[in-house]
Amino acid sequence: MIFKNAAVYNNGKFRQMDLTLNVGNAGVGSNFNNAYVFPAFCDVHVHFREPGFFYKETIKSGSLAAAHGGYTDVCTMPNLNPVPDNIDNIKKQIDIIERDSVIRIHPYAAITVGERGEELTDMASLATYCIAFSDDGRGVQSEELMRRAMTEAKRLGKVIAAHCEDNSLLRGGYIHDGEYARLHGHRGICSESEWRPIERDLRLAKETGCKYHVCHVSCKESVELIRRAKADGVDVTCETAPHYLVFSDNDLEESGRFKMNPPIRSEEDRLALIQGLRDGTIDMIATDHAPHSEEEKSRGLERSLMGVVGLETAFPVLYTRLVKPGLITLERLTELMAINPRRRFDLPPTEDICVYDLGEEFTIDPNDFMSMGRSTPFEGMKVFGKNLITVCGGKAVWNSQEN
């Protein structure tokens, strides 16, 4: 595959050069005049559902979805069955990964046994097998338990990646506690349920010296707390997701494809997140790719399960909605999707690439997904940026001429 005058990312800049890829299909791609060559993306927050929930997604289908989206490294969250809270359980997951994945998958281990928030796992024994520790899907409610987890993570040199949610403030909510909820009679989730535990954890991270990472930041208060903590020297990073950057609760519809946790919040929150990307407060973008079955997502806003897919739409959506309007540069988006995630989670440098044609416009159609999940708020959106090829370890794991 030959790309004439491609824009290749190198040392923080895109430079024009010819590129020949001797992998996979050897077809000639000289007509791809808008080809951009990126370091392959890295997503530190995905749910591949196996073992335990393979009717939603498998390691194989999830890894193919990642390759389609340009990702060659992903980190899988531990809300599985069995939960990877001991060596035997995490090895079961690793065995499936080694057998079925077309990319590199790095599993999280649970902070607490069964993700129940009652007893710490044997973090020392798990550290060799996991990328970091998280109870994602549930917040660690106990301050003392989180302090102990951070202290041990500091000793082990591991990141604590926190799902920040105060259960006492949820009050049965399932979308943002905003105008849409009030107008349509839905129970809302207040922003304080997110920022209050972040405030607590930032204090604990400063106390313990732990490497602390905040998952799926969605509201303006969280951004400001993290901004101040960074200025105060706390070792904190954070992620947000494409749906929080593109939508506000003004865009909600009575459909399960708009339901995730945390919820899509207000326009003021969305703008604060974009400012966080621009000033460096937000370090990376993760998709929180969380597939469910069609039936589980067909029950409307109130009764559908929380979670949407995102690996196959992230780059074109973000390029179209953030880069093309000039809100951030293409170089900054590359940092957010490829450079910073690997750096924070101590993943080794890679020569993996993905090649996008930024001139091709298409309409997002879930029927084109490799993921078993089809529920996305981006369905029907017109976007620019088609992935031509993803190369992982010298092998083409996605090739638009073959797939």
Active site residue ranges: 288
Of all residues in the chain, what percent are helix, strand and coil, respectively (each to 5)?
A: 35, 20, 40
Peptide bond into 341 cis (omega under 30): no
Dihedrals phi, psi of 91, to nearest 5 degrees: -65, -30
Q: Which DSSP helix (H) or strand (E) runs through 214?
A: strand 211-214
Q: Which DSSP helix (H) or strand (E) runs through 360?
A: strand 353-363
What would the two tokens of residue 297 be? Answer: 């997502």
* DSSP one-letter code for 309: -
As a whole number of angstroms, the distance between CA 192 and CA 216 comes to 14
As a whole number of angstroms, the distance between CA 244 and CA 196 comes to 19
Q: Which of 348, 371, 345, 372 is nearest to 134 (CA)?
A: 345
As a whole number of angstroms, the distance between CA 191 and CA 199 comes to 12
Q: Taking the CA atoms of the chain, what radius of gyration do you get in angstroms?
A: 20
What would the two tokens of residue 142 be? Answer: 């106990």
Under the phi-then-psi rule, with left for phi > 0, alpha for psi from -120 to 50, and beta for the rest, what region is 148? Answer: alpha
Q: Which of 319, 222, 213 is nearest to 273 (CA)?
A: 222
What would the two tokens of residue 58 be? Answer: 């498998």
Kindly report the number of other CB atoms within 10 A of residue 127's CB atom: 17
Residue 62, helix vs strand vs coil: helix
- The answer to whether residues 305 and 297 touch, using CB atoms and an 8 Å cutoff, is yes
* DSSP one-letter code for 258: G
